[in-house]
Structure 1
Amino acid sequence: MPGPIRAVVTGGPGAGKSTLLAELAQRGFSIEEEAARAILQGSEGMALRERDPKGFAEAMFARELVSFKRAGERDGATIFDRGFPDTVGFLRLEGLPVPEMMDRICRDTRYSGPIFRAPPWWEIYRPDEERIQDWDQARASDAAVCAAWRDYGYELIDLPFAEVAERADFVIKCLD
Structure 2
Amino acid sequence: MISGCSGGGKSTLLAELARRAYAVVAEPGRRIIAEERTGDGAALPWVDARAFARRALEMSIEDYEIARGLTFFDRGVVDAAVAIAATGGEQPTTIIGRVRYDRLFLAPPWPEIYVNDADRRHSLEKALVDYERVRRAYLDAGYHPVMLPRDTVAARADFILSQLQG
CA distance in 2: counterparts of 1:89 and 1:149, whole angstroms: 10
TM-score by length of 1: 0.86
CA distance in 1: counterparts of 2:44 and 2:54, whole angstroms: 11
Alignment of 1:130-141 (within 5 A): 130-141=119-130
CA distance in 1: counterparts of 2:42 and 2:123, whole angstroms: 16
Report the 3-state secondary structure (helix = DSSP H, G, I; strand = E; otherwise coil) of the residue aligned with 2:29: helix
Stretches of structure 2 that go unaligned for 5 or more consecutive residues are: none
The CA deviation at 1:36 is 0.8
CA distance in 2: counterparts of 1:87 and 1:66, whole angstroms: 13
Q: Is the 8 A contact 2:14 2:74 kept in 1?
A: yes
Write the letter of the residue equivalent to 1:108: R
Higher relative contact order by CA 8 Å / sep ≥ 6: 1 or 2? 1
Aligned residue for 1:97? 89
Task: Answer yes or no: is 1:26 the counterpart of 2:55.
Answer: no
The CA deviation at 1:135 is 1.1
Q: Compare 11-20 and 34-43 and name the one that shifted more.
A: 34-43
Q: Is the 8 A contact 2:30 2:119 kept in 1?
A: yes
Stretches of structure 1 that go unaligned for 5 or more consecutive residues are: 1-7
The CA deviation at 1:48 is 3.2
Report the 3-state secondary structure (helix = DSSP H, G, I; strand = E; otherwise coil) of the residue aligned with 1:117: strand
Alignment of 1:98-113 (within 5 A): 98-99=90-91, 102-112=92-102
Task: Answer yes or no: is 1:152 the counterpart of 2:141.
Answer: yes
Aligned residue for 1:86? 79
Q: Is the 8 A contact 1:39 1:45 kept in 2?
A: no
CA deviations over 1:62-121 (Å, ceiling 9, x no partner): 1111110111xx23x100001111012223333x1325xx22010122112x20000010
Aligned residue for 1:175? 164
Write the letter of the residue equivalent to 2:117: D
Report the 3-state secondary structure (helix = DSSP H, G, I; strand = E; otherwise coil) of the residue aligned with 2:146: strand
Task: Answer yes or no: is 1:116 the counterpart of 2:105.
Answer: yes
CA distance in 1: counterparts of 2:98 and 2:66, whole angstroms: 17
Q: Is the 8 A contact 2:41 2:47 kept in 1?
A: no
CA distance in 2: counterparts of 1:18 and 1:80, whole angstroms: 10
Q: Name the CA shift for 1:144/1:45 in 2 (closer, same or farther; >3 Å).
A: farther
Write the letter of the residue equivalent to 2:90: V
Report the 3-state secondary structure (helix = DSSP H, G, I; strand = E; otherwise coil) of the residue aligned with 1:105: helix
Aligned residue for 1:52? 48
Aligned residue for 1:35? 28
RMSD, matched Cα? 1.5
CA distance in 2: counterparts of 1:68 and 1:45, whole angstroms: 25
